[in-house]
Structures are given as C-alpha cells and as structure tokens.
C-alpha cells in the first residue's frame, strides 16, 4: 500500500508517541521501579507500538484498509491489553467491584455506536466488540487500582 505525505506524517507521529511511552517506562524502571513484572508493561507498550505501525500501514484512515494488517494491529493491541491487565493485577490486590462492569459496558457502547452508524467496522465488527472487552477490562482494573487499592501506588 502506498502512503502519501499525510499518511507518512500520521504514522511518524503515532510512532513518535508510542516510542516515547516506552522510553518513559524504561526511565521509570531504571530510576525507581525495579519490579520483575515490569516486563509486562514494557512488552505491552512494545506491542502497542507494533499495533500502531500495523494499523497505519493497513491504511486505517482509508475505506480500503488492508484487513489482514488491520486485524494484526488490533490483535497486537489486544495482547498488549492482556499484559497491561497482568501488570495491574500484580500492582494491586484484586477487588471485585462495579468497575469490572466497564468491560461489558465498553462492548455495549461500541455495539450502540455501530447500530447508530457512528462506527462502521465492516467485516471486522465482531473483533471490535471483543477488543472493547479488552479495553473495558483494562479500564476496570485500572479503576480498581486507583480507587480501591490506593496503598499500592
């Protein structure tokens, strides 16, 4: 797939911020956080960077996006979310709370956006809902950590 100047700038910007997040995480590790579970965080950030690159190369901003590259990018983000969830579970003692409802609610929200024609996932719509579960799970675990386990920060 050929990229115009706008696509190149878009991809470069995404990669700049993704790699910047990895750099800040590594600085945090070397300056303060020496946990062995830190690998979950850095690996997750690396998978997000890969996902950003694959999505950009898929032509995500065009109607004719390459579905294989798009799906590979989304899968990379889903795996990253699993690693982030494992890291959050390490950081906190797990609490069952209403925050965990964020996982199905995120998929429901995406479902409503698709039904309202605000998002068109095409053939990849089922994967959009699954990805929504992962995003919601990460949000719920992060909220659990922030609000229910303040001593772990």
pLDDT at residue 149, rounded to an integer:
65
What b/e sequence results for 23-57 when a residue is b if at least 16 CB atoms lie within 10 Å of its CB, and e otherwise? eebeeeeeeeeeeeebebbbbbbbbbbbbbbbbbb
Quick one: 83 exposed, middle or buried, by C-beta within 10 A (0-12, 13-18, 19+)?
A: buried
What global pTM score does this model have? 0.68
Closest by alpha carbon to 66, among 141, 2, 4? 2
pLDDT at residue 63, rounded to an integer:
67
CA distance 69 to 61: 13
The token pair that represents 104 in the structure block: 């199905």
Quickly tell me which residue has 């750099």 as its tokens: 23
The pLDDT tens digits for 18-53 are: 888 788 777 777 777 666 777 888 888 899 999 988
The pLDDT tens digits for 48-102 are: 999 988 988 888 777 677 889 988 998 998 899 888 888 877 777 666 677 777 8
């Amino acid at each position: 797939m050929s990229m115009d100047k706008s696509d190149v700038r878009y991809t470069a910007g995404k990669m700049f911020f993704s790699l910047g997040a990895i750099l800040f995480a590594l600085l945090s590790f070397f300056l303060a956080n020496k946990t062995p579970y830190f690998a979950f965080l850095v690996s997750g950030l690396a998978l997000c960077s890969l996902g950003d690159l694959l999505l950009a190369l898929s032509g995500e901003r065009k109607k004719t996006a390459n579905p294989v590259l798009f799906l590979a990018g989304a899968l990379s983000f889903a795996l990253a979310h699993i690693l982030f969830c494992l890291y959050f579970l390490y950081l906190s003692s797990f609490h069952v709370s209403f925050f965990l409802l964020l996982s199905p609610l995120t998929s429901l929200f995406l479902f409503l956006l698709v039904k309202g024609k605000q998002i068109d996932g095409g053939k990849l719509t089922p994967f959009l809902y699954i990805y929504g579960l992962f995003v919601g799970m990460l949000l719920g675990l992060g909220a659990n950590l922030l609000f229910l386990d303040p001593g772990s920060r």
